[in-house]
Amino acid sequence: MTLDLLQADRIRCLRAVSLEPSRGLTLLHGRNGQGKTTLLEAAYLLATGRSFRTPRIEEAVRRGGGPLRVAGRVSGRAGETDLAVVVDGGARRLAADGAEVGLEAYLGRLEALVLSAERERVLRGGPDERRRFLDRGIAGLAPAYLRTLGECRRALEQRNALLRSGGAGRRAEVEAWDERLAAAAAAVHRRRREYAVRLAAALAEPARAVFGPGETLTVAYRPSPAAAGEAGPHGFEDAYRRALRSGASRDGALGFTGEGPHRDDLLLELEGRDLRKYGSAGQVRAAVIALKLGKLRLYREERGENPVLLMDDFDADLDEERAGRVAGFLQEESVQAMLTTSKETLAGALGVPMRKVRVVEGETRAA
Amino acid sequence: MSGLAPAVERVVGELCKLPGIGRKTAQRLVFHLLRAPASEVAALAAALAELPEKVRACPTCFHLSEGGLCPVCSDPRRDPSVVCVVEEPANVLAVERTGAFHGLYHVLGGVLSPLKDVGPEDLRVNELVERVRSGKVAEVVLALGSNVEGEATAVYLSRLLKPLVPAVTRLAQGLPAGADLEFTDDLTLARAFENRRNY
């Protein structure tokens, strides 16, 4: 799908901006603080009804007054659609083809993947960031997964509450929660394992494009407890139940459950070395881009079309050669992407045709 | 201030405490009562006043009753060898509506939930065990909700009861009646597969 028209008004510093992105690459360039990232934020808001910069959308309303309005035209397999999002005070209204709709009915017309500094925590941050990465990816393909995840979380909270209240000695009760937790955890485990395997496969080609032929990026699911993970998707439930039983006295002393899907992690290695520990800034940034492109491919396998890619500060930590390889890959894959940079000369260095748009003090100028 | 007479305000305040009733609905109900004949209002008041005095828990199954056994336990046509365990009295009504069950009930009075500080001692678990132990119960059907708490409670009870009774069963989980496979969420569909049966 492509975003053919993007209009944004009163979102942060932007004023009545209207932009026709290229169906290929669009480079938004300009000095810091001119509104480049806000244009990406506007596109993301149009796709999801949310911002990737703040959970409180009213913070994005222009200082001095709203209403904030973003609108756009999308074309995809389902035809052409006009979308609009208006934020007035704390209220958000969504409209598709002129008719106001609820969030659930609104979503799905425009899919956007965003790569921003916040999202890069997936590699440098704690394991919870990587679990969220997995879970968000799975839920994007199968929304009912959120319920599975909710059940697992709830069973875990209940078991922990029992342990905290000194209930570790009440064997029969603890075991009832073990049983429930193991069943819910097995469902989460199965999904995460399956997604990680698919991601690993989808990642190979983008990773080669980003890193060049010499270096291999691998991704591996590291389930908890490790022993249960080795038991395979079908043996997990039994193995986890045994682990819960043997860890019961330790868990009782701690007052929480020490092992399970809430301790899962995703390991990223470059040539067999843990990127999180040994990766340079450039390698980490490249790996995050590769992960995102892998996710994009999974999305296309599932839905038959590309989502729109939004990459903030595109050339951060990338040398020109690597930035050029990424841009080349996007072009080959026919991905519509909006990229921001503070370097006006970047477009020439990338060697890929792109539409250049200059952003100055909240307005756009074709360049 | 609401601008309502104190007597009206008192009734509105009381009605607001009921589940599903907000201030506006409460006011609508009160205005309706003000227009209704005095005898109707008195009948409602009398019926409400009787409620805490007359309604008791059935000594056997803890369903609602008016002193003595509840209508189900006192019905000689019911099969006392099958006991269906439910969470609340409202669940008895739901099962009764189906007409598919002819045994007796046991109302637990809740489900296990350590987060809300509810353990087995807060539920009518001992009473259930006593009942199964002393009576001629051949089957206990666990008809608890399919949420996390309901299922954990079912696991707990099944382990407790299995040594005491020939059969402990639970309600099947699967496709809702009239459902289309395409529109069934994958969790429900997965459980329907796990619980598939022979033709």
- The CATH number for B129's domain is 3.40.1360.10
At B178, the pLDDT band (50, 70, 90 cuts) reads: confident
Best of A138, A152, A173 to mutate (most B CBs within 10 Å, chain B):
A173
Q: What are phi and psi of A110, to 5 degrees?
A: -130, 120
Is A157's Cβ below 8 Å from some Cβ in B? Answer: yes
Q: Which amino acid is at A31?
A: R
Q: Which pLDDT belongs to residue A141?
A: 82
Q: Which helix (H) or strand (E) holds A99?
A: strand A99-101
| Model confidence at B1: pLDDT above 60 | no
Taking the Cβ of residue A205 and every Cβ of chain B, the question of whether any pair is shorter than 8 Å is answered with no
Nearest-neighbour CA in chain B from A290: distance (Å): 30
Rounded Cα distance between A365 and A344, Å, is 13
Residues of chain B numbered 138-177 and touching chain A (CB < 8 Å)? 147-149, 151-153, 155-156, 159-160
Same domain, B185 and B97: yes
3-state secondary structure at position B157: helix
Mean pLDDT of chain A: 91
Residue B195 confidence class, pLDDT cut points 50, 70, 90: confident
Q: Shortest Cα distance from A241 to chain B (angstroms)? A: 14
Contacts of A250 (CB under 8 A, 6+ apart): A258
Same domain, B39 and B111: no
Q: Are residues B88 and B68 in the same domain?
A: yes
A158 and B113 within 8 Å at the Cβ level: the answer is yes
Q: Write down the ipTM of this complex.
A: 0.78
Name the 3-class secondary structure at B141: strand
Question: Is A180 within 8 Å of B155 when comparing Cβ atoms?
Answer: yes
CB B84 within 8 A of CB B73: no
**In a shared domain, residues B49 and B80:** no
Which one is the CATH code of A124-274: 3.30.70.260, 3.20.20.70, 3.40.50.970, 1.20.1050.90?
1.20.1050.90
Answering whether pTM is above 0.90, one says no
CB contact under 8 A, B187 and A147: yes
Is the Cβ of A195 closer than 8 Å to some Cβ of chain B? no
**To probe the interface with B, which of A146, A162, A195 has the most B CB atoms within 10 Å?**
A162
- Enter the tokens of residue A131: 């679990």
Mean pLDDT of the region A202-212: 92
Domain assignment present for residue B1? The answer is no
Measure the CA angle with vertex B179, ends B178 and B183; round to 5°: 155
Kindly list the residues from chain A whose CB atom is less than 8 angstroms away from the CB atom of residue B156.
Answer: 172-173, 176
Contact assessment for residue A182 and residue A241, using Cβ atoms and an 8 Å cutoff: yes
Task: Give the A:B interface size as CB pairs under 8 Å.
Answer: 58
Chosen for mutation from A164, A165, A179, A191 (greatest number of chain B CBs closer than 10 Å) is A179
**Residue B156 to residue A184, Cβ atoms within 8 A:** no
What architecture is domain A2-111+307-366?
3-Layer(aba) Sandwich (3.40)
> For residue A216, what pLDDT band results from cuts at 50, 70 and 90?
very high
Tell me which residue range forms the domain holding B174.
64-198
pLDDT of residue A121: 83
Query: Cα distance from A191 to chain B (closest Cα, Å)?
Result: 12
d(CA B199, CA B189): 18
Q: Is residue B159 situated within a structural domain?
A: yes
pLDDT of B69 > 80? The answer is: yes
For chain A, say whether B111 makes contact (Cβ under 8 Å): no
Cβ neighbours of B119 in A, within 8 Å: 167, 170, 173
| Residue B100 distance to chain A (closest CA, Å) | 28
Residues B46 and B142 in one domain: no
Q: Report yes or no: A173 at the B interface, CB cutoff 8 Å.
A: yes
Interface test with A, best of B148, B155, B185 (most A CBs within 10 A): B148
Q: What is the mean pLDDT of chain B?
A: 91
User: Does residue B59 belong to any structural domain of this protein?
Assistant: no
Q: Are residues B21 and B72 in the same domain?
A: no
A155 contacts chain B (CB < 8 A): yes
The one-letter amino acid at B192: A
Task: Decide: B85 and B157 in contact? Cβ < 8 Å.
Answer: yes
- Within 10 angstroms of residue B194's Cβ, the number of other Cβ atoms is 9
pLDDT value, residue B126: 95
Nearest by Cα to A26 from A53, A6, A52: A6
Q: Per-residue pLDDT averaged across B88-96, rounded? A: 95
Question: Do residues B38 and B72 both lie within one domain?
Answer: no
Q: Are residues B99 and B166 in the same domain?
A: yes
Give the pLDDT of residue A367. Answer: 64
CATH of the domain at B19: 1.10.8.420
- In the prediction, which pLDDT does A20 show? 95
Q: Is A159 in CB contact (< 8 Å) with chain B?
A: yes
Q: What is the average per-residue pLDDT within B4-18?
A: 91
Q: Tokens 């913070």 map to which residue?
A: A59
* Joined tokens for residue A94: 């969504």
Query: CB-based contact (8 Å) between B129 and chain A?
Result: no
Q: In what order do the strands lie in the sheet with A217-222?
A: A217-222, A265-270, A273-274
CA atoms of B175 and B186, how far apart (whole Å): 11
Mean pLDDT for the stretch of residues A37-57: 93
B121 at A interface, C-beta within 8 A: no
Domain boundaries defined on chain A: 2-111+307-366, 124-274
Q: Are residues B182 and B136 in the same domain?
A: yes
Number of structural domains (chain B) is 2
Using CB atoms, which residue from B114, B149, B186 is nearest to A165? B114
Q: Mean pLDDT, to the nearest integer, of B13-38?
A: 93
**Same structural domain for residues B27 and B92?**
no
8 A C-beta contact, residue A138 and residue A195: yes
For residue A189, give the amino acid letter. Answer: H
Q: Are A85 and A70 in contact (CB under 8 A)?
A: yes
Strand partners, A75: A2, A80
Residue B78 and residue B72 in contact, taking contact as beta carbons nearer than 8 Å: yes
Written as one string, the DSSP assignment of A167-229 is GGG-HHHHHHHHHHHHHHHHHHHHHHHHHHHHHHHHHHHHHHHHH-TT--EEEEEE-SSHHHH
C-beta atoms of A142 and B149 within 8 A: no
Chain B partners of A255 at a C-beta cutoff of 8 Å? Answer: none
Three-state secondary structure call for residue B124: coil
The confidence score (pLDDT) of residue A263 equals 96
> Is B119 in CB contact (< 8 Å) with chain A?
yes
